[in-house]
Structure 1
Amino acid sequence: MSTVSLILCLALMLHVTSACDGPNEQQQLAASRQQSDEYFANAYGFTPETWSAFSYQPSNPYYAPEYSGHYEGRTSLNSLQPINENNPFNKYFANSNNVEVEQSQAENRFLLGGLGANLINTGIFNNRFTPANTWRPFSNFANRIPISYNPNFDNPLDTFDACTSPSGDAGICVPGSVCSLFGGRPSSSCVLGKVCCVNTISTCGGTVTLNNTYWQSPTTAVSASSTCAITLRLDTKYVEQLKKPICQIRLDFVSFTTAQPTAGTCVDTFQVSGTTTLAPVICGDNAGQHMYLDVPSSALTSTDIQLMFNFGAATTTRSWNIKIAMLPCGASYLAPTDCLQYFTSATGKVKSFNWQDVASTTTRQLNNQKYNICFRTELVSGSRATQMCVSICTVTNGGDAFYITTPAAVVTAATTFLTVVTTTAGATSQSNVGTTVSSTGNPAFVVATCLYDFLQIASGQDATTGVEADRFCGNQLNPARGADLLNPGLATSTQVCTSIRPFRMTFKTDGTEAAIAAVTPPTVPAVAGADAANTGFCLDYQEK
């Protein structure tokens, strides 16, 4: 009788286990994948927009292959990540084929490599039974879970998943003891008994290996003529980076205040080294700004990225809070290559570094800026946007929403081509476009307009008149072109639209605000007046 009972129990157990393979399994997986994708994106600071870029199977017809490309993201937007036939959790299961893998396991500084998977799979489903007992009804349980390596999908068995605390801070899901080991602050609960651990560093000279780490200024005042730096170490030998090799870093400047530049040149500097992206040196006020930095895949090589402040002798308040997000290779929310800034909503605001809505008689625009600003093409009213329009921001505190290079109209007449060019700050309010304007003087000479400092918008057209230009400067945004040196453009700004996709802008400034009096082709092809009180730009953008 006991034998019959045992057989019946086995049959019943196998029947129940096989029920896991029903049609609801795929539906549950798809729902879980979608919820997890959106949750992970929110943890990185993104809010799902009308046209999501995550890679679960979409139902919207606008996700057709012709709407995806290498620029809009790093992965195709119209298909799921392929299922990996080799279960990525195989290394966590006890079998003879994995001995060498486990012996070569990545360095684990806290003895926590694959902690969750080891406890669940090995500890619960295998080691509850002695090796002498070959009856293991749960030994194949983990293999029944449809797992594929998709960076956009956080499997609940993974460790170090992203999360968001009730206060809005980003963190990672880990056991409470691990959070303590990393020196983090538990803020809320995650799945499987984990906590949302918010990690902060408020020292100089530290090393960051955790995703969603906040680097804050020290509690004591930062002294003048000093340096403060940290190192981001990207290496899959670390258990916290084992599952997801890193290909990009996103820096969010939650707060950022340093000394203002002198004639456009930073006295205090913030710079990045070790990335393939050449990030410009910045300073001043940059709260709310961000940077995307491409790095070599940590699956191929370990990389050290350094973030460094150098403080000059000026006495001023210096404080910062920088969120450091490590973005995995293959994720659909990576910024396109060579895009220092990337915006993923249909409307928003884009500003040059150190632009503020404040009255100022000194230059806030930074020298030596050269970077691309990119915009993901969104769905607008169910259709993919066909154009993007920009217009100057509304200012209420005396700031100037667009001032790049003093307009050429205030350049005084020169008697010879090499005569020193002077300007009168604030003498007029004019737009400039193109690169040079020829004077009608005798002899004629050439004065640079948007040659050295400019905002480039490919095929930018006046939304009303259709007048087109691609380089904009002066202190009005308008593509209208003047007849000569004394009439360079218009004294009003207008909405400028482009239909060139992918949508992007390029901002470039040279290394000086002083007048350029000597021409040395080809590096200095034209003279230029001195700049005064340039502010940079603040633009409202809208995709249509």
Structure 2
Amino acid sequence: MSTVSLILCLALMLHVTSACDGPNEQQQLAASRQQSDEYFANAYGFTPETWSAFSYQPSNPYYAPEYSGHYEGRTSLNSLQPINENNPFNKYFANSNNVEVEQSQAENRFLLGGLGANLINTGIFNNRFTPANTWRPFQNLANRFPAAITLNPNIGDPLTTFDACKSPTGEDGICVPGSICSLFRGRPSGSCVFGKVCCINTITTCGGTVTLNNTFWQSPSTAVNSPSTCALTVRMDTKLVEQIKRPICQVRLDFISFTTAQPTVGTCSDTFVVGGSASSTPVICGDNTGQHMYLDVPSSAITPTDIQLMFSFAAGVTATRSWNIKIAMLPCGASYLAPVDCLQYFSSATGKVKSFNWQDVTSTATRQLNNQNYNICFRTELVSGQRATQMCVSICTVTNGGDAFYITTPAAVVTAATTFLTVVTTTAGATSQSNVGTTVSSTGNPAFVVATCLYDFLQIASGQDATTGVEADRFCGNQLNPARGADLLNPGLATSTQVCTSIRPFRMTFKTDGTEAAIAAVTPPTVPAVAGADAANTGFCLDYQEK
């Protein structure tokens, strides 16, 4: 009897449904499909073939040109592509090529359940009934699926991939299924969870576009000719599948290796330039292995941004040019973002910080770069369970004849004289002395003002001698010491000391002007004082420690 009653109830339900739909059924189905298409377009950036996108389709595949060359590292044109060129998820469904399923059993087991929940939530079933009919037999059907299905609705959802990973050899990569690693021409190295691989993505060409986190840009295997340029674009846009869930706010460049021609009297002939970011980045050259940069960009969820990285190689210069730059895309809101306006950012309690092109080598040429102006920032770390209250710096230990601190020639070589010309061209042997402040006044006839740390300097707010407490904020010369001399002939001390600051957040500013030559003419306010010619400036290398 109960069976007969159940059959009668089902028949009555279908009859009522048909009666309510009437002659408008075809229009309602069309409206339902339109709403479903709009859902997919808004959520995923493509419009599927709603009624057949998830089923096996044995028709002949065709090429998708925009997938083959739109981004650096995509598959070649002769590779077979998924049948729907606008669907970024086609790789995750069966097709006529019998693509191997990369996901684990745990991910596959809920495929149909997740699909059912998605289709129901898009309104395909709920909108099946007219607005006048308030009876919705399928309205709460999605809620009847287990919670696990809503957490994992699709097999190998590409929106949850592309997490950072580290290979057994220490290389940084991204976690993706093996087929996706091949799609981007990456190199699998190690494994991630759910059967994914740690994919190492490397580009060795000029003129490409990067959209993947942790991409390595390496110099071509053949020698770089000069004059020439080699550029790369870093694209950030949440419309890209690989970035859709993580808006980008910063890019970090790590110079795994970086060798170009040395500067000539501080001015680069070979240049590395960054364009398109909100950060003020200096032009650099020379040897910068181990250095890094943070580049600020507007949130890619609001404003898609392209950053250009470009090398320019000068003619007539014989030099080795090679590089390997890791490009990391840092999501908005991450705890490891650098503070605004910090070109370099250090996040450990101890470490080493160097100016660009500083090396521990004996050299009579200028290694310090002209036109530098950037902030170096340090995260306040926990020391013995408490936040650090001060940061101290001291010059690095050198073993190969390098100079750990030499930012500008001490003012002592600019001896008192009766004319500006004599003052700025005197090149008596420089003694190893520190300099602080901005200018000093002579007692000669006529009196004149001589620059000390006015044009080239390292700024440490409230920098104090760790022993004596003597304080200064601008440091130059070829020793690091806040002590001030009495006059031009005694600008500072001949020894370096540890300098500490308690001003938080901890930061330093490095600035140089555009010349190493003497400044003989005063044109206030831009050139307020004369200065002697610099010789063999090296920049700085400092060990830092938070206490």
| TM-score, scaled to structure 2 | 0.74
Measure the CA separation in 1 of the matches of 2:37 and 2:350.
Answer: 23
Q: State the 1:414 CA deviation.
A: 2.7
Once the two structures are TM-superposed, the CA of residue 427 in structure 1 deviates from its matched residue by 2.4
Report the Cα offset of residue 32 of structure 1. Answer: 39
Identity of aligned residues (%): 90
- Give the equivalent residue in structure 2 for 1:23: 23
Displacement of 1:328 = 0.5
Q: Deviations over 1:345-401 (max 9, x none)?
A: 000000000000000000000000000000000110011100000000000000000
Q: Is the 8 A contact 1:91 1:98 kept in 2?
A: no
Residue 325 of structure 1: how far off its partner (Å): 0.2
Change (3 A) 1:537 1:323: same
Is the alpha carbon distance of 1:349 and 1:103 closer, same or farther for their aligned partners in structure 2, counting shifts above 3 Å?
closer
Task: Check conservation: 2:158, 2:241, Cα contact below 8 A.
Answer: no
CA offset at residue 542 of structure 1?
0.3
Residues 103 and 156 of structure 2 are in contact (CA less than 8 Å); yes or no, is this contact kept in structure 1? no
Q: Which moved more, 1:494-503 or 1:159-168?
A: 159-168
Moved more, 234-243 or 134-143: 134-143
Q: 1:334 to 1:93 in 2, by over 3 A?
A: farther
Deviation digits for residues 306-331 of structure 1 (CA, Å, limit 9, x no counterpart): 00000012111110000000000111
More displaced 10-residue stretch of structure 1: 438-447 or 70-79 = 70-79
Q: Is the 8 A contact 1:55 1:79 kept in 2?
A: no
Matched residue of 1:106: which SS?
A: helix
Determine if contact 1:217/1:321 at 8 Å carries over to the other structure.
Answer: yes
Deviations 1:251-310 (A, max 9, x none): 000000000000000010001000000110000000110000001111011111100000
Instruction: Give the Å deviation of 1:419.
Output: 5.1
Confirm or deny: 8 A CA contact 1:412 1:422 kept in the other structure. Answer: no
Asked if structure 2 preserves the Cα contact closer than 8 Å seen for 1:251 and 1:325, the reply is: yes
Larger deviation, residues 406-415 vs 98-107: 98-107
- Equivalent residues of 2:164, 2:173 under 8 A apart: yes
1:260 to 262, 271, 275: 262
Shift of 1:177: 1.0
Distance 1:340 1:144 in 2: 52
- Is 1:141 the counterpart of 2:141? The answer is yes
Deviations 1:192-235 (A, max 9, x none): 22111110000000100000000000000111211000001111
2: distance between equivalents of 1:460 and 1:29?
74
For 2:307 and 2:169, locate their aligned partners in 1 and report how far apart those are by CA, in whole Å. Answer: 28
The 1:174/1:73 distance shift into structure 2, 3 A limit, reads closer
Structure 1 residues 49 and 27, CA gap change in structure 2 (3 angstroms): closer
Shift of 1:246: 0.5
Closer, same or farther: CA 377–218 of 1 in aligned 2, 3 Å? same
Given that 1:292 and 1:342 are in contact with CA atoms closer than 8 Å, whether structure 2 keeps it comes out as yes
SS of 2:500's equivalent in the other structure is: strand
Instruction: Check the 8 A contact 1:358/1:399 in 2, yes or no.
Output: yes
Between 1:307-316 and 1:87-96, the stretch displaced more is 87-96
Instruction: Sort the Cα spacing of 1:189 and 1:67 in 2 relative to 1 into closer, same or farther, 3 A.
Output: closer
User: Which piece of structure 1 moves more, 464-473 or 35-44?
Assistant: 35-44
- Contact persistence 2:210–2:232 (CA under 8 A): yes
Q: Matched residues in 1 for 2:29 and 2:370: separation?
A: 51
2-structure distance, mates of 1:219, 1:125 = 57
User: Structure 1 pair 115/159, CA: closer, same or farther in 2 (3 Å)?
Assistant: farther
SS at match of 1:50: coil
Please list the CA deviations of residues 460-517 of structure 1 after superposition, one character each: whole Å capped at 9, or x if unmatched: 0000000000000000000000110000000000000000000000000000000000
CA 526–124 in structure 1, closer or farther in 2 if over 3 Å, else same = same
Distance 2:425 2:46 in 1: 47
User: In the superposition, relative to structure 1, how do residues 224 and 276 fare at CA in structure 2: closer, same or farther (>3 Å)?
Assistant: same
Q: Give the CA deviation at 1:250.
A: 0.2
CA offsets 1:7-59 (integer angstroms, 9 cap, x no match): 99999999999999999999999999999999999999999999999999999
Question: Is residue 450–residue 531 contact of structure 2 (8 Å, CA) maintained in 1?
Answer: yes
Contact 1:58–1:78 (Cα < 8 Å) also in 2? no
Distance 1:467 1:78 in 2: 71
Alignment check: 8 A CA contact 1:388 1:542 kept: yes
Partner SS for 2:421: coil
1:148 match: secondary structure? helix
Q: Structure 1 107/192 Cα, relative in aligned 2: closer, same or farther at 3 Å? A: closer
Q: Please identify, of 81-90 and 146-155, the stretch whose mean Cα deviation from structure 2 is larger.
A: 81-90
Preserved contact between residue 46 and residue 87 of structure 2 (Cα < 8 Å): no
Give the superposition deviation at 1:412.
3.0
Residues of 2 paired with 1:485 and 1:391: CA distance? 25
Partner Cα separation in structure 2 for residue 41 and residue 70 of structure 1: 21
Over aligned residues, Cα RMSD in angstroms? 15.4
Find the partner of 2:164 among 155, 162, 165: 162
Structure 1: which 5+ residue stretches go unaligned?
none
1:425–1:43 Cα change, 3 Å: farther
Distance 2:512 2:98 in 1: 56
Cα distance change on mapping 1:28 and 1:45 into 2, 3 Å: same
Please give the alpha-carbon distance, in whole angstroms, between the structure 2 residues aligned to 1:48 and 1:506.
53
The verdict on how the C-alpha distance between 1:180 and 1:20 changes in structure 2, with shifts beyond 3 A counting, is: farther
C-alpha distance in 1, partners of 2:281/2:294?
A: 9
- The CA distance in 1 between the partners of 2:256 and 2:428, in whole Å, is 34
1:2 CA drift (Å): 12
1:188 alignment partner, SS class = strand
Q: Deviations over 1:404-453 (max 9, x none)?
A: 00000011333134655024375211100000111222222111000000
Residue aligned with 1:3, SS: helix
Counterpart-to-counterpart distance in 2, 1:371 and 1:496: 20
How many Å apart are 1:123 and its aligned residue? Answer: 17
CA contact (8 A) 2:108 2:155 kept: no
Stretch of structure 1 that moved more, 32-41 or 377-386: 32-41
Please tell me whether residue 38 in structure 1 is matched to residue 41 in structure 2. no
| Gap change, CA 1:98 and 1:169, over 3 Å in 2 | closer
SS of the residue 1:116 aligns to: helix
Measure, in 2, the Cα distance between the counterparts of 1:96 and 1:334.
45
Alpha-carbon distance change, 7 to 526 in structure 1, aligned in 2, over 3 angstroms: farther
Instruction: Give the number of equivalent residue pairs.
Output: 544
| Matched residue SS, 1:9 | helix
* Structure with bigger gyration radius: 2
* SS, match of residue 63 in structure 1: coil
